[in-house]
Structures are given as C-alpha cells and as structure tokens.
Structure 1
Amino acid sequence: MAEKSWRKTLWEIAVIVFASALFGILWNRPLLSDAWRSAPAVQAAPTAQQAEAVPMPIGVAQVKELHDSGQAVLVDARSAASYIKEHIAGALSLPLEEATRQQAPQLKGVAKDAVIIAYCNGFSCHDSMQLGKLLIKAGYGSVYVFEGGLPEWRDAGYPTSGGKQ
C-alpha cells in the first residue's frame, strides 16, 4: 500500500511539472520563437520618466580634485540665505526654488559643456539631485551631484566661505 501511494505521488508531481512546462512554453511562445531564430529581442520604448537623465553622484575626493584644479563649477542648490551663511569656497548659488521658476535655469558665465557639481545639505537633502536634473534639461552636458554636500566638505576640513555660526 505504501508503494502505491509513493508511485501515485510521483505521478502527480510529474503531471504538475509537465503541465507547468507546457503552460510556460505556450505563454512565452513569441519570445522563445525569436530566441530559437536568433532574432534580437525588441524592447519597449522607455517612458518619459525612464528617459529622464539623472546626474551621476560624485564623492568628496573627486569634488576636491576637480575644485582645486578649476575643472568644475560647484553650484549650491540651497536657499540664498543658507548660501550667504556658509558655502563651499568658490561655489555659485542657484537655489532650487529659483531654478524651478525658470524655464531653463542658466548659470551666468558657465559654458554648457562645463563640468558642474551640484550640492546641498548632505545625504538627506535631495535639492542637488533635482537641480542637477533641471540643469541637464537646460542643456548642460556634464552634471554631477555631490551627495555629501556642505556637511561632508566641512567635515573633511576643506575651505568654506560666508559667515560662520
């Protein structure tokens, strides 16, 4: 009797596996036929949200190197009051709220092909990422985001400007 139930269980498992494989083959028939013929896979066109260009993150060491060599323009995305209080030495101010009001934000005296590094108040602040996206949409080609922002810069002992607290 135990041998009969064991065979029955094995038979049921085989039927389930076979039915699942058959269903999978039928469901994916167009994809499998293309693969069998070595046809390239056709991908759906990206949606507007997927196609949105996102600035690449950059670390404090790279920011310092580009800053010191004059190869990048640092842009402070924080409010004008925060910028006046303290900012990375040599950075320009373009508050996010001001940039969102403009059709295409412009940085005076900065070429569209310049390397731009946006920053704000550190990892919990997303203003620099939003500003970076706006600058890319405005035609700036090399836009990066310094996610550590002013706090990481200050903690590393690098120069800041403005009034101290």
Structure 2
Amino acid sequence: MAQKSWLKTSLEIAVIVLASALFGIAWNRTLLADAWRGAPAGQAAPVPQQAAPGSQQAEALPMPIALAQVKELHDSGQAVLVDARSAASFAKEHIAGARSLPLEEATRQATPQLKGVAKDAVIIAYCNGFSCHDSMDLGKLLIKAGYASVYVFEGGLPEWRDGGYPTSGGKQ
C-alpha cells in the first residue's frame, strides 16, 4: 500500500514538472528561439538612425561616478578633478588638487579648454553636491569640446568633505 502511494506521488510530481516545463517553453518561446539562434538575450539589434533634417542628435551625457572611485582616481593621479563652481567658491574651498573651470566661464567660451589636459584624459567634474547641476552641465560642454572620458561626481565637495578627504583654499 505504501509503495502505491509513493508511486502515485512520484507520478503526480512528474506530471506537474512536465506541465510546468511545457508551459514555460510555450511562454518564453521567442526568448528561447533567439537563444537557439545565438542572438544575445534581452538586447534588440541596433537600428541605425538618421537624424531628420532640422532635428538634433541625442546629447552625450557624462557618466556619474561614486566617491570611492573619485578618491581612488584622485590618489593615483589618473584623473583631473574640475570644479564647476564659481571662482569665489573655489577660492574659499575645493578638493585638494582640483582645477577651477566655473560653468559661467565655460559657457562663454566657444569650446571650453582645460590648459595642459589631453583630450583623452579622465576628467571628473564636481560642484556643490546632489542639488547642484553645474557639474553635469560642465561635463556636457567638455564632451562637446572633444574630451572623451568625462564623469560627474554628483556628491561634489560636500560628500568629499564629509568623507574626511583633503580640501584646500586658494587658487590653483
């Protein structure tokens, strides 16, 4: 009697597993068909787009970067930190070793330039924290000017200072 009960339970489990597998295959048939063809999962094939006359291409945006990454790149000298705040704010306090390029000044230039900085250098723009968007705007201008690796430290000077990292006062 116990053997029949065990056999019946095993048969019920097998039927449930088989039914689930068939349902899953039917539900995901397109995903599986793409996988069997070798297409990457979850990615549509790129569609080349041509800009319509009079329309603008999508604007390139600088990528955000976290405090730990900023600190690592700063300490290793692999990045140039650029302060987007006003010259007066920079003179009062800034991240040690940063350069000043106020957004106001950069917008007045045809193509903003960082003297002595190669176009392929890693640039990290920052300002007064998450509520300040000057660093993002400066980052966009620097990308348009031809700088290839531009990042935005959204936490800016406040997050840097709160992390206990070095700041300076005065012009550099």
Alignment of 1:140 with 2:147, yes or no, is yes
**Which residue number in structure 1 is paired with residue 82 of structure 2?**
75
What CA deviation, in whole Å up to 9, does each residue of 1:35-76 have, x standing for no partner?
A: xxxxx785654652x521000000000000000000000000
Q: Which residue of 2 aligns with 1:65?
A: 72
Question: Partner of 2:143: helix, strand, or coil?
Answer: helix
- What residue identity is the alignment partner of 1:122? G
Deviations 1:9-49 (A, max 9, x none): xxxxxxxxxxxxxxxxxxxxxxxxxxxxxxx785654652x
- Give me the identity figure in percent: 85
The normalised TM-score by structure 1 is: 0.71
- Residue 78 of structure 1 aligns to a residue whose secondary structure is coil
2:130 is aligned, of 123, 127, 139, to 123
Match of 1:15 in 2: none
Query: Within 5 Å, which residues of 2 pair with 1:3-152?
Result: 44-45=49-50, 48=56, 51-152=58-159
- The list of structure 1 runs, each at least 4 consecutive aligned residues, that deviate by more than 3 angstroms after superposition, is 40-47
Q: Secondary structure at the match of 2:124?
A: strand
| Aligned-residue RMSD, C-alpha | 1.7
Structure 2 segments unaligned to the other structure (5+ residues): 1-44
SS of the residue corresponding to residue 51 of structure 1 reads coil
CA distance in 2, matches of 1:125, 1:86: 16
Q: How many residues align?
A: 123
One-letter code of the match for 2:103?
L
Cα 1:43–1:158 shift into 2, 3 Å: same
Aligned residue for 2:161, secondary structure, equals helix
Per-residue Cα deviation, 1:90-133 (whole angstroms, up to 9, x for no partner): 00000000000000000011010000000000000000000000
C-alpha distance 42-158 of structure 1, shift in aligned 2 (>3 A): closer
